[in-house]
Amino acid sequence: MAHGSIELVEVGPRDGLQNEADIVATADKLALIENMIGYGARRLEVASFVHPGRVPQMADAEAVIAGLPDRDDTTYIGLTLNKRGVMRALATREGGRRGIDQVGCVIVASDTFGQKNQGQTIVEGVEETRAMLRFARAEGMSAQITISAAFGCPFEGEVKPATVLAIAEELAAEDPAEIALADTIGVGVPAQVAALFGQLGELLDGRIPMRCHFHDTRGTGIANAWAAHGAGVRVFDASLGGLGGCPFAPNATGNIATEDLIYMMDRSGIDSGVDLDKAIAANRRFAGILGRDLPSRVTRAA
């Protein structure tokens, strides 16, 4: 039986909702976040600072952040794609407000996808992300990075591990709070995950924590999470109900479900700090808001 603990980063309020066809009301988002805190989520990705024309679901980012519970035991993360996004995140803290605690910077491990997602090649993305990390640090804001499409690109196909590791090595020099690898389109398999995180772990040598972000497009997401754990990852992104998807990745489906991840970890003797029964109840409440069942297999079986 395994032992130890993991940390959940609940990405439902951002990654889970960004691809929804119908706009979710600000009040419903805040109720969802309250429920997530209620089941034990203590790091939550609550919004992204992107152009509302490109991701309409995130148009109310500042309104959501203004309504967040002011708790000492939570970390609120805002996704940023450029320096302007970091500035918006910093603005949420003006006037003594709680605001965003940490920014998440994203770089894509594919030139084609990077240009479609945020208008930059890998080389340009490294420079932009380096500048964002330095700017955030100078302003007293914690910042972490996600290398997306790390296991495959919807346009170029295979992404070479050397490409991912080169990006990680360059940005590790800026001492981010974390480096995550994301399987944005859900093509990764456990052997690939174990190998790449194993190499990343050797590269980082314990200096910077690793995080993983899996989508379940081809049904391998939970198995990949287990492989990542075996490779030393202890911080896991997941989305309540398995909601999610990238607006710029064709046919991408949801994140691994929080309930499915927690069930696997609980049954393996690994503590997550999450109350599974409360997460299942939160799933069902939010399914009522969306008017459909959410993909989580554990909730469906409960």
Is 212 tagged catalytic? no
Distance CA(198)–CA(80), nearest Å, equals: 27
The dihedrals phi and psi of 17, each to the nearest 5 degrees, come to -105, -15
- Tokens 């939160």 belong to 282
Which segments of the chain does DSSP mark as H helices, in order? 26-38, 61-66, 83-91, 111-118, 122-138, 161-172, 190-204, 221-230, 258-267, 276-290, 297-301
Which tokens is 248 given?
Answer: 């710029």
Q: Which residue in 105, 153, 212, 246 is the catalytic one?
A: 246
Q: Helix, strand or coil for residue 103?
A: strand
Nearest CA among 138, 302, 149, 143 for reference residue 213: 149
The dihedrals phi and psi of 213, each to the nearest 5 degrees, come to -140, 110
- Residues identified as active-site: 246
